[in-house]
Amino acid sequence: MKPLMVFAVLASVLSGSAGAKPVFKCEENGKITYTDQPCTPGARAAELPGLIVGVPPTRSEQDLARAHDARMQRARAERERDDAEWLKQHKGRKDREAQVRKAIIEHRVIRSMTFDEVKRALGEPDEIQGGDSYGTDKATWVYQKGSQRRTVNFKNGEVTSTSARGRGRK
């Protein structure tokens, strides 16, 4: 009797499906369902990969999963905020580039243009005045064309103001 018991235990362990019920695959009107009861007489159990039915998670495992989900949600929200901020800055840069490009084509100067952009719009200045004022790099470029005088003021490498004097202008 004892060898028979050992054989039964060994057979159930080696079968890999100890304690598992057979699963039947049923198809009705093109819809597939799985059940533990045969669909038709003589139906055979479906061949399924080694499924492991686990025990429900404990309270602490559920809490851990909720905390993980909350962290992931916060990270996703932060990433979306960062992406929105980047898109806003990108749009601002693109708008500025379009405005500068238009000003260069029209030989105009607008605020925030750089030294190189002003050179592309107006050419090399006739006179450059500049210096450091309380840690701020300031420069004034002067363009003289006949009786017209145009000045472009820079602060830290960007245009802060521009003015023109001469015939027809004040």
H helical segments located in 106-133? 115-122
The pLDDT of residue 17: 47
* Greater model confidence, 41 or 145: 145
Q: Sheet harboring 158-165: ordered strands across? A: 127-133, 136-145, 148-155, 158-165
> 3-state DSSP call for residue 134?
coil
Query: What are the residue ranges spanned by the domains of the chain?
Result: 78-165
- Report the CATH fold assignment for 78-165: Beta-lactamase Inhibitory Protein; Chain:B, domain 1 (3.30.1450)
What's the pLDDT tens digit per position in 20-37? 677 888 888 888 888 888
For the chain, percent of residues with pLDDT exceeding 70: 83
DSSP letters, 18-65, are TTPPP-EEEEETTEEEEESS-SSTT-----------PPPPPHHHHHHH
Model pLDDT for residues 64-89, shown as the tens digit of each residue: 999 999 999 999 999 999 999 999 99
